[in-house]
Structure 1
Amino acid sequence: VGPGFRLLTEGGPSAARRLAAAVPGVHVVKAFNLCHEGVWRMTPPIFDGQRLTVPICGDDEAALALARKLVRDMGCEPVAGGGLDRAGLLEATAALFIGLWVAEQADVRAIVPPLAYATGPRAESA
């Protein structure tokens, strides 16, 4: 992908899994890695009238509930990304998107169709 943007944990466990392994007993949640730090300073981060959605991965329900509250307190919408075993996918998505933004100046929102079209064209548009 773009210059300088690669997944540092390629071929191994995600950064979230590494942290969890390094500090036994800690509850790790993966979130907030798809945007530049400046986006998190926006109050709230709204783009084209839509609140930013933040994927969250984790295994501990109490830690996930706290992360969801933090996301909502920032004016964003949390979305369940699965367990910590899926954190590597979130990290890889960030590496891909950042590379496309920087190297290609691509608007990655245009890569994925709106939810209404996730399973293909709607009957009225076919």
Structure 2
Amino acid sequence: MVLPFAAGADVVRGLRAEPAGTVLVDCSNPVGPGFRLLTEGGPSAARLLAAAAPEAHVVKAFNLCHEDVWRMRPPVFGGRPLAVPVCGDDAAALARVRGLVRDAGCEPVAGGGLDRAGLLEATAALFIGLWAGEGADAQAIAPPLAYATGPARR
């Protein structure tokens, strides 16, 4: 089901009570007109979802790609599987979502706790603006790790 990011918390509140330990994957992007982040200065969309479902474990993942990418089996680019950042606070929930990422043919990347979900959302806003507004290749922004960390790692 695809929803505007702001509807997620309302939908979760409207469902029957979630069983304790339910894993909710937040793949939303709170991006508005002009590719601006709608949650800037406030809680991330993932935090809003977590507040609406306090018995669940929210994990932020799968939000950096267009839905067509997820239809690819597997999503591989330039011979490399797509890397998917995953943010969450519960080890068991993170393990389940990392398994989903691998099942999709991708590589999970530890993104930190749910407090870092807003960084994924801001990254999505930046990438969407670059792709849609500028036609830029956002993947070309990040050099290989050996160059991103300076000469000591090469």
- Give the share of equivalent positions with the same residue, in percent: 79
> What SS class does the counterpart of residue 28 from structure 1 fall into?
strand
TM-score (norm: length of structure 1): 0.92
Query: Structure 2 vs 1, CA of residues 104 and 122 (structure 1 numbering), >3 Å: closer, same or farther?
Result: farther
* Aligned-residue offset at 1:12: 0.4
> What SS class does the counterpart of residue 78 from structure 1 fall into?
strand
Query: Structure 2 vs 1, CA of residues 89 and 123 (structure 1 numbering), >3 Å: closer, same or farther?
Result: closer
Runs of 4 or more above 3 Å deviation: 121-124
Match of 1:66 among 87, 96, 101: 96
Distance 2:56 2:113 in 1: 15
> What SS class does the counterpart of residue 35 from structure 1 fall into?
coil
Matching of residue 108 in structure 1 with residue 118 in structure 2: no
**Bigger RCO of structures 1 and 2 (CA < 8 A, at least 6 apart):** 1
Which residue matches 2:77?
47
Matching of residue 86 in structure 1 with residue 97 in structure 2: no
Distance 1:114 1:19 in 2: 34
TM-score (norm: length of structure 2): 0.75
Q: Deviations over 1:29-73 (max 9, x none)?
A: 000000000100100000111100000000001100000000000
Contact 2:61 2:86 in 1 (8 A): yes
Structure 1 unaligned residues grouped into runs of 5+: none
Matching of residue 17 in structure 1 with residue 47 in structure 2: yes
Structure 2 unaligned residues grouped into runs of 5+: 1-31
Which residue matches 1:57?
87
Which residue matches 1:31?
61
Query: Structure 2 vs 1, CA of residues 112 and 25 (structure 1 numbering), >3 Å: closer, same or farther?
Result: same
Query: Structure 2 vs 1, CA of residues 122 and 4 (structure 1 numbering), >3 Å: closer, same or farther?
Result: same
Between the two proteins, the alignment pairs up a number of residues equal to 124
* Aligned-residue offset at 1:9: 0.9
Distance 1:3 1:120 in 2: 37
User: What is the identity, as a one-letter code, of the residue corresponding to 1:86?
Assistant: R
Distance 1:116 1:81 in 2: 19
